[in-house]
Structure 1
């Protein structure tokens, strides 16, 4: 109220307009304090939503573990020269896992151990059953 009387919020005015201005300023301050609470609840519900979506997604994810000596097929990616069209095969192999590297990388070798040095992501291979 002192700021309104001092003229910080505008020039000095008659009683009715001054009372109305004091109410307007007071309601703005109340709204600003309510905004923080609304913002916190929005963040809280956003986090709950993200957790719920992650739980629903992770239900369907099955981690695959590979071991040295397993046979796998390697996916032929579209940018490789082996991808020659619609009727070309989608998988190459079988390959033998020579080493399991960190963060899902695999070091593959040919079954006859002629071709070595193939390092691929574990997402691009699938288990080969004989």
Structure 2
């Protein structure tokens, strides 16, 4: 909404009565503007999700499968060497809802936090 300053109102010689009517009209339309903005945002989020989900490849993993874990930190070494992007073999111990899994290394030591397995 546009709120004019008192100086602008005095210079344009707008009557207070007309200003009040215009202001009331703007305030009554604010709910409609808010609703249209919310519908626009929901549509935008659906379009972004659809575009992102095109790239997601479903993986048919089950408990006992061997997997590699992606290292998401910086892969460049200051000495000019490339660091590995994957971390050694892990066994899937439990698959939870939403694509999260609990993994353990080959010695059977479980990792503390679950990992999301359905990222591209």
Deviations 1:22-63 (A, max 9, x none): 222222211211222222211211111111111111121123
RMSD, aligned CA: 3.3
| Matched residue count | 98
Residue in structure 1 matched with residue 9 of structure 2 by the alignment: none
TM-score by length of 2: 0.57
Normalising by structure 1, report the TM-score.
0.54
Uncovered stretches (5+) of structure 1, i.e. residues with no partner: 1-16, 124-130
Mapping of 1:57-96 within 5 angstroms?
57-75=52-70, 85=77, 86-96=81-91
Q: Is the 1:109–1:118 Cα contact (8 Å) retained in structure 2? A: yes
Mapped to 1, the partners of 2:64 and 2:90 lie a distance apart of 9
User: Structure 2: which 5+ residue stretches go unaligned?
Assistant: 1-12
1:10-32 superposed Cα distances (whole Å, 9 cap, x missing partner): xxxxxxx9xx3322222221121
Q: Determine whether 1:34 maps to 2:26.
A: no
Give the deviation of 1:73 after TM superposition: 2.7
